[in-house]
């Protein structure tokens, strides 16, 4: 026993000594390069320019090409594919005085060429293995195409589905968002964080910070929130990603409490570096340094550059202002040489970590590019994650699953669209080899039994196609109506003031109900929609988001019951746009809705307070029973833990997966606490009749929050504890946190 302890201690000591030695060696190498650099060359390392793609292939603006050659631009984004990256890298390595290699960044958000479901859909899997694997596949494909830096994960919490970039994050919840953020970083950078491994890329945590809370849901708009809300709700996912060792951070376009994030010293230095201990590189968003002028905090480009670099912004994406003004700012003493050196060190450090100084062409291997990209294994991973991301919202009279051989009328423009399946931010993904949902339905169910009519388009008001769709439906046993949003209706600069299904798609649904045939609505969309009308008209509703390169096949497998749906909503679906923001972790008011008073309480007079579909909700083709909760102790002491358990039984006839969710509520505190907060989840699989005991361990730190005096910690007292299958369907017990 003693011997083992000694051995473990010895191993730990030698490992940490080894790591310290490695760190020291890295710092020495960074400094050895830094010492050789002129101020101009240093500034070049803080500059990032985009490459374009023309019809004939990739192209770099001649000016930027010269900037690389002259050492004025040390980093490029949007350049990918081995031959092209090699061509640009050669310029940096052969033509510049110090031969410093370029970084190559790209928005590899949910896949490089093999496209996975959009990030919001990935979060709907509540399956961290799938999410991490998807990021890893994306990283390995990107790294095989010359890219070594991805602009992901986006860790922005949002409670506003009007915001188009809701599709890019993990939804509304800080706990789920944090788990997903860490899984994505581990997927991109690899579990042992060896960035020089050619199947990994450098991750970039974005958009720091609060970008998901623009006023009115309008992209880029100002963000105003209390510091407590910022720290309790918005900060945790960024923090989790940084704790998972993400080595770069991108700042947000917006202002946070009247200070643009691009020049926000409190955010970039006090919080990010001093509190969170971030050691990596900070990059601006596209042209954001120059946009400080539009924000009205800088009078000109020179002042914008000064504000940004002095706040802690290391690298300027695209604005050219660092290149134009930093030298003069240093000469005038407005920016210190130490500030420049520190920023350059951060850039050089990641270049060393990525292995680029040892081999600038590490990511330029044509054979690997051919072998890795769109490999069958990668496509299989995309298929499996897509299956798990679909959320069954309604299934009246068990109209689903469909039976093979049933006569189906498949209706809707989105049914035949391969393009929409890929969603926004699809990197190098294209529709070649991506079957549409209709292709897959016909393949599975036979072309004789599977007919198609467009009915109407996904946008616009023409009803010309309605009669043909009705005629097709008349010949069918069941109708599969595929409706939703064009994939470009979400993503950057795609905010909506209205979140209904666009155009006349729902009018077509209403017409089809007159046939009195079962109607399955398959939704393709990248945000929570107002589905109140669809919910009254359809028999079944399957939320499929944008499900990626193998989305068509995954949706088919769920519709026919080859895979039993297991996705759960990572974000609340409101009943109407007027309820926004609506989220499950709201706070009680002094006049909560449950009071008997008929009038003077916090509610709408023309709409219920409840969502249409709550956070954590999703149906299965089987049913699950949750036992009462048992606690190992109903008192939780400091430095101790208690266990909360339930037994879940599959009471239906098919195998299925359930996401068992644990929530807490702090009943009395010195500031108002949310009515529920997610603190744990387990996804389990059960055979028919099978039971499993699911146990959560609760420790006091899980109950901490920012107290009245803004210190972080716990307050003793009573807590409610809930375990269930969604945020509004739970069993309940309570415990006390002791002093």
Interface with ligand NOJ by CB under 6 A: which residues?
107, 151, 206, 285-286, 492
The secondary structure of residue 678, as a DSSP letter, is E
Q: What residues pair up with 452 in beta bridges, in sequence order?
A: 410
Smallest gap, in angstroms, from Cβ of residue 257 to ligand NOJ?
Answer: 20
Tokens, residue 15: 């490992």
Cβ closest to ligand NOJ, residue 286 vs residue 621: 286
Least distance from C-beta 286 to ligand NOJ, angstroms? 4
**CB nearer ligand NOJ, residue 492 or residue 655:** 492
Judge if the upstream peptide bond of residue 401 is cis by omega within 30 degrees of 0.
yes
How far is the C-alpha of 322 from the C-alpha of 318, rounded, in Å? 9
Nearer to ligand NOJ, 459 or 492 (CB): 492
Nearer to ligand NOJ, 427 or 479 (CB): 427
**Per-position DSSP letters for 491-527, written without gaps between them:** STT---S--BPPTTHHHHHHHHHTT---EEEEEE-SS
**Helix 301-311, helix 321-331: angle, nearest 10:** 80
Q: From the CB of 558, what's the least distance to ligand NOJ, in Å?
A: 31
- CA distances 504 to 413, 461, 537, Å, are 12, 6, 14
Q: DSSP alpha helices (H): ranges in 104-209?
A: 119-123, 128-144, 174-189
CB of 491 to ligand NOJ, least distance (A): 9
Element (H, E) at 20: helix 2-34
> Which candidate, 576, 393, 412, places its Cα nearest to that of 485?
412
Kindly state the smallest distance separating residue 386's Cβ from ligand NOJ, in Å.
23
- Rounded distance between C-alpha atoms, residue 87 and residue 724, angstroms: 55
Tell me the closest approach of the beta carbon of residue 382 to ligand NOJ, in angstroms.
Answer: 22
Tokens 């134009």 map to which residue?
324
Q: What is the CA radius of gyration of the chain?
A: 27
Considering 67, 156, 285, 486, which one is annotated as catalytic?
Answer: 285
**Long-range CB contact pairs, 516-519, < 8 A, 24+:** 517/473, 517/476, 517/477, 517/478, 517/479, 518/397, 518/399, 518/477, 518/478, 518/479, 519/478, 519/479, 519/481
DSSP state of 688: T
Q: Choose between 41 and 156: whose C-beta lies nearer to ligand NOJ.
A: 156
| Smallest separation, CB 212 to ligand NOJ (Å) | 12
Which lies closer to ligand NOJ via its Cβ, residue 197 or residue 492? 492
User: Coil, strand, or helix at residue 717?
Assistant: strand
d(CA 508, CA 299): 53
3-state secondary structure (DSSP) of residue 557: helix
Task: Indicate the length of the chain as a whole number.
Answer: 739
Residue with Cβ nearer ligand NOJ (162 or 442):
162
- According to the 3-state scheme, what is the secondary structure of 592-617? CCCCCCCCCCCCCCCCCCCCCECCCC
Shortest-Cβ-distance residue relative to ligand NOJ:
151
User: In terms of CB distance, is 164 or 355 closer to ligand NOJ?
Assistant: 164
Whether 725 is a known active-site residue: answer no
Q: Please state the closest distance from residue 304 (CB atom) to ligand NOJ, in A.
A: 17
Active site residues: 285
């Amino acid at each position: 026993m003693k011997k083992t302890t000694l051995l473990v201690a010895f191993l730990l000591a030698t490992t940490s000594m080894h790591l310290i030695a490695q760190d020291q060696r890295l710092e020495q190498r960074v400094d050895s390069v830094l010492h050789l650099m002129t101020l101009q060359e240093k500034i070049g390392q803080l500059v990032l320019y985009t490459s374009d793609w023309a019809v004939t292939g990739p192209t770099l603006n001649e000016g930027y090409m010269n900037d690389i050659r002259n050492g004025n631009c040390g980093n490029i984004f949007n350049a990918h594919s081995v031959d092209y990256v090699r061509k640009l890298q050669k310029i940096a390595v052969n033509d510049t005085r110090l031969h410093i290699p370029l970084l190559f960044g790209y928005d590899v958000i949910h896949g490089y060429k093999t496209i996975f479901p959009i990030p919001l859909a990935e979060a709907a899997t509540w399956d961290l293995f799938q999410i991490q694997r998807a990021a890893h596949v994306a990283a390995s494909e990107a790294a095989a195409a010359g890219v070594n830096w991805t602009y992901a994960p986006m860790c922005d919490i949002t409670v506003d589905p009007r915001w188009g970039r809701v599709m890019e994050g993990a939804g509304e919840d800080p706990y789920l968002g944090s788990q997903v953020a860490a899984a994505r970083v581990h997927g991109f950078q690899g579990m042992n964080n060896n960035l020089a491994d050619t199947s990994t890329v450098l991750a970039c945590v974005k958009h720091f910070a609060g970008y998901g809370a623009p006023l009115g849901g309008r992209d880029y708009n100002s963000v105003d929130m209390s510091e407590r809300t910022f720290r309790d709700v918005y900060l945790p996912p960024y923090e989790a990603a940084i704790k998972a060792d993400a080595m770069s951070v991108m700042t947000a376009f917006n202002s946070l409490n009247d200070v643009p994030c691009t020049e926000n010293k409190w955010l970039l230095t006090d919080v990010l570096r001093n509190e969170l201990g971030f050691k990596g590189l900070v990059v601006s968003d596209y042209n954001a340094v120059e946009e400080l002028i539009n924000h009205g905090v800088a009078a000109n480009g020179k002042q914008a550059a000064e504000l940004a670099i002095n706040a802690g912004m290391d690298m300027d994406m695209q604005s050219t202002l660092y290149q134009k003004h930093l030298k003069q700012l240093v000469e005038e003493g407005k920016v210190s040489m130490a500030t420049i050196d520190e920023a350059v060190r951060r850039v050089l450090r990641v270049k060393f970590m990525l292995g680029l100084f040892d081999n600038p062409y590490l990511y330029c291997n044509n054979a690997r590019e051919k072998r890795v990209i769109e490999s069958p294994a990668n496509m299989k991973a995309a298929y499996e994650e897509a299956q798990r991301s679909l959320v069954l919202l309604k299934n009246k009279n068990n109209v689903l699953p469909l039976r093979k051989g049933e006569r189906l009328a498949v209706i809707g423009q989105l049914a035949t669209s391969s393009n929409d399946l890929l969603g926004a931010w699809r990197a190098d993904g294209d529709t070649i080899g991506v079957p549409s949902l209709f292709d897959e339905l016909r393949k599975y169910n036979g072309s004789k039994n599977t007919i198609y009519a467009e009915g109407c388009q996904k946008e616009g008001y023409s009803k010309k196609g309605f009669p043909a769709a009705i005629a097709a439906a008349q010949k069918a046993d069941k109708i599969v109506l595929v409706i939703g949003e064009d994939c470009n209706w979400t993503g950057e600069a795609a905010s909506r003031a209205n979140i209904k299904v666009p155009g006349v798609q729902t009018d077509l649904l209403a017409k089809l109900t007159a046939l009195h045939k079962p109607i399955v609505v398959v939704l393709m969309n990248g945000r929570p929609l107002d589905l109140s009308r669809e919910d009254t008209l359809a028999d079944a509703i399957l939320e499929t988001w944008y499900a990626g390169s193998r989305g068509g096949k995954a949706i088919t497998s769920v519709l026919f019951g080859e895979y039993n749906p297991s996705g759960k909503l990572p974000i609340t679906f409101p009943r109407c746009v007027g309820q926004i923001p609506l989220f499950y972790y709201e706070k009680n008011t002094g006049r909560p809705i449950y009071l008997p008073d008929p009038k003077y309480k916090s509610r709408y007079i023309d709409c219920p307070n409840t969502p249409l579909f709550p956070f954590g909700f999703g149906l299965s083709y089987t049913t699950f029973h949750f036992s009462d909760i048992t606690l190992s102790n109903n008192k939780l002491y400091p430095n101790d833990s208690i266990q909360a358990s339930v037994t879940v039984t599959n009471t239906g006839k098919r195998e299925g997966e359930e996401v068992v969710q644990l929530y807490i509520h702090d009943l009395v505190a010195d500031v108002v606490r949310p009515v529920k907060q997610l603190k744990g989840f387990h996804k389990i699989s059960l055979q028919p009749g099978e039971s499993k005991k699911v146990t959560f361990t609760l420790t006091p730190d899980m109950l901490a929050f920012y107290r009245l005096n803004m210190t972080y910690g716990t307050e003793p007292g009573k807590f409610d504890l809930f375990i269930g299958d969604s945020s509004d369907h739970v069993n309940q017990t309570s415990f006390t946190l002791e002093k």
